[in-house]
Chain A
């Protein structure tokens, strides 16, 4: 495919707009870590909603969801959209307790919470390492999505497209910090929603209307219109497993966790909880239907991840191709920026601050350097393309989900202690790789039969519950005053 200069021109305009917002944010951001990482806890409803929504909606939604629906059928929307209920509820309950601890104790990172709640010296560092471990592959998924887009829509080599996006993200995160990412996320969220709905209408028009577009898919493969859908057939155990993963993993994403923890006004938090499922519907419905229609139009693509670019390429000119790229890049970049910023904050606060005494200015400089290192590592892994976007994302989701129980006990169980948190985290991490190690190495994994038809999350969470429930009865408790501080704060709270 030749390089599409019109497409590229539209994308360049979009990238310049993002950099402009980042530069404007830089003028409002000081070298104080509180301002760089937390934007001085100053966001209102609109910015917080978009900061959460845009950073939450990643390549998985804009590239992965159309791909899944394309190959599995419209029922995939059903299993995914349980998230519209479970996450807002987790946000309003567990997230509310997190918000309270952020306000009361000034916690900034998950490590702060774990160390303080359990009176621990090193648990926070371990939490930081685990979160970083699961987040970097997720950033890789964004870089891969960008590379695919540039290749599929603009005729630019995969490696160059991924590199451009990584460099732009580095630039505006580096200069604008949390304020820069939140403001760009607001812009990116708007671009994403407008683009995907416009594309849905345009494609319907091109395919002869909604009914004709749907009929074409049903004629191609009628199984795509029902649940459980086309092969691979997903049974209820599969869905049940993903109810759990989708519901609990998101709050543990450091880029989400960190945007809840700082606090803001309680009314802002409440409004965001109500508005969140509406935002999710706006973002999820169009790519799902587009993927469904794609099955009736395109029968042979190298990867299901490419269905959306293939539809744009096959039906529109380079200008619309550029708008499509901007919309999808908005989704990718708004996740990559939050992730790289939050991982650098974890590094700076939970690791460097624990072992060195730096000036605030040096802290920010070091964090900026770490943003660059994280993005560079992600680029190298994206270049190697070891997994599909959905494959990478689902591994990361499960990893995060297996950190949820230790977080829950810290907020909901008086008797919980440091040993239980360590045990829960280790069981989750080791257990996950015991089931999945054969995906990355030639080592044998635990047999699939041990999951009893569920995904690994179900048996692992059962083991986690047993371990976490027993350990505190045989190990040292944190000081009673510390526990009381937390549970007095939670009195009357759900």
Chain B
């Protein structure tokens, strides 16, 4: 028997016993986890605000360490964007996922059909 699923990809059996209306429910899916990771990265970036394990003193007293710390965090940003890429929700309207196509309703922003430049 086919089972319908919610916007998180969970069907009724998967969420049995869970309060799907609760404010924390969206954090259970991958998009919610990414949001949590995003805030964790912000915290790391602004360690001097939050003072994780005294690392403000450790890291920010010597300039090469300061720079290396920030560049390291920047590389985590790149890794995070790779996760975003891998979890990117595809548009449901397949017509939208084509280059140079617009279904203009509002006037002059009409469809262009030129091939992509620069790929």
Residues of chain A having any CB pair with chain B under 8 Å:
33-35, 38-48, 74-75, 77-78, 81-82, 84-86, 88-89, 92, 96, 100, 102-108, 112, 115-116, 186, 214, 217-218, 224-228, 236, 239-240, 243, 262-266, 268, 270-271, 273-274, 276-278, 280-281, 285, 289, 292, 349, 353, 360, 489, 491-494
State whether B118 touches A82 (Cβ < 8 A).
no
Flag whether B62 is at the interface (Cβ < 8 A).
yes
Chain B hits for A224, CB < 8 A: 63
Minimum CB–CB distance from A479 to chain B (whole Å) comes to 14
A-B contact pairs, 12 of them (CB 8 A): A39-B114, A39-B117, A42-B114, A42-B117, A48-B118, A103-B96, A103-B103, A106-B102, A106-B109, A239-B49, A273-B81, A273-B85
| List of A residues within 8 angstroms of B38 by Cβ | 85, 89
Q: Is residue B74 contacting chain A, with contact meaning CB distance below 8 A? A: yes
Against A, the Cβ 8 Å flags (1 = close, 0 = not) of B12-27 are 0000000000000000
Q: Which of A41, A86, A96, A104 contacts B100 (CB under 8 A)?
A: A41
Q: Cα distance A34–B113 when bound, in Å?
A: 11
Residue numbers in B under 8 Å from A92 (CB-CB): 81, 84, 88
Q: Quick one: which of B60, B98, B113 contacts A227, CB cutoff 8 A? A: B60
Contact with A along B51-89 (1 / 0, CB 8 A): 000001000111110110111011001101110110011
The smallest beta-carbon distance between A355 and chain B, in angstroms, is 14
How distant is the Cα of A210 from the Cα of B18 in the complex, in angstroms?
Answer: 57
The reply to whether A42 and B100 form a contact with Cβ atoms under 8 Å apart is yes
Chain A, Cβ-Cβ closest to B82: A274
- Would you call B116 and A236 a contact (CB within 8 A)? no
Q: Chain B: which residue is nearest A46 at the CB level?
A: B118
Given contacts A46-B118, A84-B77, 13 further A-B contacts (CB under 8 A): A44-B118, A46-B119, A81-B74, A82-B45, A105-B104, A106-B110, A116-B105, A218-B63, A226-B62, A262-B109, A492-B89, A492-B92, A494-B89
Residue pair A186, B63 in contact (C-beta under 8 Å):
no
B99 adjacent to chain A (CB < 8 Å): yes
Interchain CB contact under 8 A, A266 and B90: yes
- Residues of B at under 8 Å CB distance from A? 7, 31, 38, 41-42, 45-46, 48-49, 56, 60-64, 66-67, 69-71, 73-74, 77-78, 80-82, 84-85, 88-93, 96-119
Contacting pair A243 B63 (CB below 8 A): no
The closest CB in chain A to the CB of B67 belongs to A74
In the bound complex, what is the Cα–Cα distance between A217 and B60 (angstroms)?
16
- B85 near A226 (CB under 8 angstroms)? no
A106 touches B81 (CB 8 A): no
Pick the contact of A33: B66, B73, B108 (CB < 8 A). Answer: B108
Q: Which B residues touch A42, using CB under 8 A?
A: 99-100, 112, 114-117
Task: Give every chain B residue within 8 A of A227 (Cβ-Cβ).
Answer: 48, 56, 60, 66
Pick the residue among A236, A285, A360 that contacts B48 (CB under 8 A): A236
Give min CB distance, B90 to chain A, whole Å. Answer: 7
Chain A at the B interface: SS class: helix
B46 touches A107 (CB 8 A): no
Residue of A nearest to B57 (CB): A226
Query: Out of A100, A264, A274, which one reaches B84, CB within 8 Å?
Result: A274
Q: Which residues of A contact B73 (CB under 8 A)?
A: 81
A96 to B64, CA, bound (A): 37
Q: Is the CB of B119 within 8 A of A45?
A: yes
Q: What distance in Å separates the Cβ of A197 from its nearest Cβ neighbour in chain B?
A: 14
Q: Is the Cβ of A243 less than 8 Å from the Cβ of B42?
A: yes
Is A85 touching B77 in the complex (CB atoms < 8 A)? yes
Closest to A47 in B: B118
Q: Which of A41, A106, A266 contacts B97 (CB under 8 A)?
A: A266
Q: How far is the CB of B10 from chain A (nearest CB, A)?
A: 13
Q: Is the CB of B116 within 8 A of A40?
A: no
Point out the residue from A45, A107, A270 that lies within 8 Å of B109, measured CB to CB.
Answer: A107
A349 to B116, alpha carbons, bound, how many Å? 25
Q: Which residues of A contact B117 (CB under 8 A)?
A: 39, 42-44, 47
Chain A's closest residue to B80 (CB) is A85
Closest to A48 in B: B118
**Nearest A-chain residue to B76, judged by Cβ:** A85
Q: A48-B118, A77-B67, A493-B91 are in contact. Are A38 and B112 (CB under 8 A)?
A: yes
Partner of A88 from B48, B67, B81, B101 at Cβ < 8 Å: B81
Contact call A270/B85, Cβ cutoff below 8 A: yes
CA distance A348 to B91 in the complex (A): 31
Contact B118 A45 (CB under 8 A): yes
Q: How far is the CB of B79 from chain A (nearest CB, A)?
A: 10
Q: Which residues of B contact A48 (CB under 8 A)?
A: 118
